[in-house]
Chain A
Amino acid sequence: MSSILYATSIADLAPLTVAIPFGLAALLASRLPFPFTRHYAELVAAAGALVVAVLCLLLLSKTLDSDGPVVSRIGGWQPRDDGVIVGINFAFDSLGAALALLAAVLVGAALVFAWRFFEAVGPTFHALILVFLGALTGFALTGDLFNMFVFFELMSVSAYALTAYRIERAASLQGALTFAVTNSVGAVMILFGIALLYGRTGALNLAQVGEALASRPSDGLVVTAFALITGGFLVKAAIVPFHFWLADAYAVAPTPAAIVFTGVMSDLGIYAVARIYLTVFQAPLEPHVEGLRAVLVGFAVVTALLGAALALAQNHLKRLLAFVTISQIGLALIGVGLLTPDGVAGATLLIPADGLLRAGLFVCIGAILHRCGSVYQSSLHGRGRVLPKVFPVFFGAAVLGLAALPPLGAYPGKALVEEAAGEVGYGWVAIVFVVATAVAAAALLRAGGRVFFGWGAPHETDTDPREPPAEESELTGSRGRVPGVMFASAAVLIVAGLLVAAVPGTAEDAQRSAHAFADREAYAAPVLGRPPPPAEPVHLLHGGALEVVLGLLTALGSIALAVALLRDLVPLPRPVLMGFERLRRQHSGQIGDYVAWATVGFALLGGLCALAT
């Protein structure tokens, strides 16, 4: 009895990961209690993030120990005897708990970075980022489709507000508006899909919807719902052609917000696609899995390559990193889009490693902005020398981690996705991984070489003809030195990113977790109050020499490409450059254009899904 009490008590802590940040956010927003000081706000917010991180760690260890998902029935509503769910559950396995933990860690890092940030503006920023965190953990842990949508919207709205936080800058406002309108359209599509599923099954609980759909073959309604929900989440994940908003938003978001956005917000869309496909659509769409795999991997490959290519064309450092984000989310979607447990396991390793490293790079850019007052490569040429010598080291280490230098950073995840792809006859995606990663890393290395060492030709403005405006620092206080909190957050994020997937045993855990995550019956049974089916043994992949060689090739290739670009050794033919420029011009910042592209994307996704099934 006592063991049961203990077992339920850990699971019942899950709602606190949502309630604590929301409660603290309300406290901060209400400016209570008096006397209210800046340090009070910072301490409250940091303590909230820390508590959530500890809770998520507890939940993660609990999920790693248990066979099926951990179910927390809010309000104690048990399923009816006929298996109908009453009330709303949290039902999560280790992947969801790990995503919530990643969010808490990134928000914690952002709050440390923000220690001296916006001194005069007050605690609204802290309140917003806590709401963001609470919504994100709720989204990752919930087992209810509509609940997922509400948390998704809540997270989105706080993200819009965070993007627009510097209301004195018109660019922030425009980036936030584009972000908000495009993502709202995506959210409407998700809700359309949810309404169709509810109409068919009369249920909103993920396990129960999956159960109801499994009993009959798929039809047009199921495929439409799949296309709408997947497309809606791909807007958030910024998959081409839904990606336009991302660069505009990340370029103008305050650095602490951008740390969290790049580290975890984009990945949420990928997580949601995996969660919903595997628990809801897997059974009815099983006969069409080949076609759907081709569709999803197709979108992912285009995104990975286009994002990397556009990263090369950016002058603005934050925009550059935004396109790197797009490219890497594309790579993560390749893993999920394979629609196999091993592919999901690869994405599980890729997402935290890449996310933490990108967050670390955003901190480095924040330091450059603070010290040099600009984020444009053309005007920063060689001016990064004033930064402490440890920043080029941070920057280089993070980029090599992103470039999947074995055995660090993104390497374990990338190796696993490549292997998983080989199993279903998609071995060629290894080439996409090498090219996309090397090009994106080369763009970053070139930027680092220009800024920190003054390499390459100065005043190269052919890629971005706009006159770079002066940027004011986001931090108050002296510009004469880099604050210690920047060192601390950059070091922690980058070291964590390099090691998170490389720690021995993580790859095995990820594969076991992904197999449990992908097993619809095993997920549904505890939620519906049934005994779990016997667990099937997991055949673990361990990576081969080929993956190591490809990893080394990617890392060396990125360095070679960066050097060649800096020395102007890559003569691109004029038509290619013209095509590039036309592509770049599509990113016009006009909401109408972006929504038109998103509509085209939905039509394309729906049409291809219809063809595939």
Chain B
Amino acid sequence: MSVLPYVVAVWICLVGLYGIVTSRHLLHTIICVSVVQSSTYVLLLAVGYRQGGVAPVFVDIPHTTPAVDPVVQALTLTDVVVGGAVTALLLAIAVQIEKHLHTLDPDELDPLRD
């Protein structure tokens, strides 16, 4: 088992966090949130990967065939859905902010302005 996928997962997470911290545009912030979330997909799939394993569909292969872990794939799918819901909601909020304030630059938004 290679450590590379774990390194990649951590790297994606950190890159996304760096993006959020330094973001100068809310759309960019939201995309970076997606990037951070996607790091977990890599991590989950890496956790369940088995060298030489096949897809975990046992219809026409013996039950003893080494296969990758289907549980993490289910988790990843669920996580993709959760991430999609969060991103959609964030984008909807950003659209409304743009409509009201005609800007998405965080410096031009005063949090308590009504």
Contact = CB atoms under 8 A, between A and B. Distances in A.
A173 B106 contact: no
A248 B96 CA distance: 18
A159 B26 CA distance: 20
Interface in A229-286: 248, 251
B35 to A, nearest CB: 10
A204 B90 CA distance: 29
A167 B101 CA distance: 12
B109 A174 contact: yes
A171 B93 contact: no
A181 B74 CA distance: 24
B113 A591 contact: no
B17 A170 contact: no
A184 interface: yes
Contacts of A195: 40, 43-44, 47, 72, 75
Interface in B12-27: 13, 17, 20-23, 26
Interface string B22-63: 110010011001001101100110010000000000000000
B36 A188 contact: yes
Given A177-B94, A590-B106, A171 B113 contact: yes
Given A171-B113, A171-B114, A469-B113, A180 B40 contact: no
Interface residues of B, number: 42
Interface string A380-399: 00000000000000000000
B37 A188 contact: yes
Nearest to A163: B93
Contact of A198 (B13, B71, B90): B71
Contact of B40 (A168, A188, A588): A188
Contact of B78 (A150, A170, A177): A150
A595 B26 CA distance: 14
Contacts of A316: 112
Contacts of B89: 157, 160-161, 180
B17 A184 contact: no
A455 interface: no
Interface in A88-117: none
A352 interface: no
A167 B93 CA distance: 8
A178 B93 CA distance: 11
Residue of A178, A181, A248, A599 ringed by the most chain B CB atoms within 10 A? A181
Contact of A153 (B17, B21, B82, B109): B82
Given A153-B86, A181-B33, A191-B79, A591 B97 contact: no
Given A195-B47, A198-B71, A199-B47, A173 B86 contact: no
B97 A184 contact: no
Nearest to A204: B71
A598 to B, nearest CB: 9
A433 B110 CA distance: 35
Interface string A289-328: 0000000000000000000000000001000000000000
Interface in A576-608: 588-593, 595-596, 599
A146 B44 CA distance: 12
Nearest to B36: A188
A80 to B, nearest CB: 15
Nearest to B85: A157
B58 to A, nearest CB: 16
Contacts of A168: 100
Given A157-B85, A185-B17, A591 B47 contact: no
Contact of A599 (B17, B37, B96, B111): B17
A73 to B, nearest CB: 18
A118 interface: no
A192 interface: yes
A177 B40 contact: no
B20 A591 contact: yes
Nearest to A167: B96
A192 B90 CA distance: 22
Nearest to B24: A592
Interface string A142-168: 000010001001100100110010011
Contact of B93 (A177, A185, A590, A595): A177
Nearest to A200: B47
A175 B109 CA distance: 11
A146 B75 contact: yes
Given A185-B17, A198-B71, A248-B111, A170 B100 contact: yes
A131 B51 CA distance: 41
A471 B44 CA distance: 47
Residue of A174, A176, A470, A588 ringed by the most chain B CB atoms within 10 A? A174
Contact of A157 (B36, B39, B86): B86
Contacts of A167: 96
Contacts of B21: 592-593, 595-596, 599
Nearest to A247: B111
Contacts of B79: 191
A466 interface: yes
A173 B30 CA distance: 14
B70 to A, nearest CB: 12
Contact of A592 (B37, B75, B82, B106): B106
B19 to A, nearest CB: 9
A192 B82 contact: no
A131 B20 CA distance: 29
B111 A588 contact: yes
A146 B25 CA distance: 33
B5 to A, nearest CB: 11
A216 interface: no
Nearest to B106: A590
A192 B94 contact: no
Contacts of A170: 97, 100-101, 109, 113-114
B47 A198 contact: yes
Contacts of B17: 185, 595, 599
Contacts of A251: 112
A261 B44 CA distance: 31
Contacts of A471: 114
A592 B36 contact: no
12 contacts: A157-B86, A175-B111, A177-B94, A180-B93, A181-B90, A188-B39, A195-B44, A466-B112, A469-B112, A589-B109, A591-B106, A593-B21
- Top 7 nearest A-B pairs by Cβ distance? A589-B111, A199-B47, A469-B114, A170-B100, A596-B21, A191-B40, A595-B20
Interface of A: 146, 150, 153-154, 157, 160-161, 164, 167-171, 173-178, 180-181, 184-185, 188, 191-192, 195-196, 198-199, 204, 248, 251, 316, 466, 469-471, 588-593, 595-596, 599
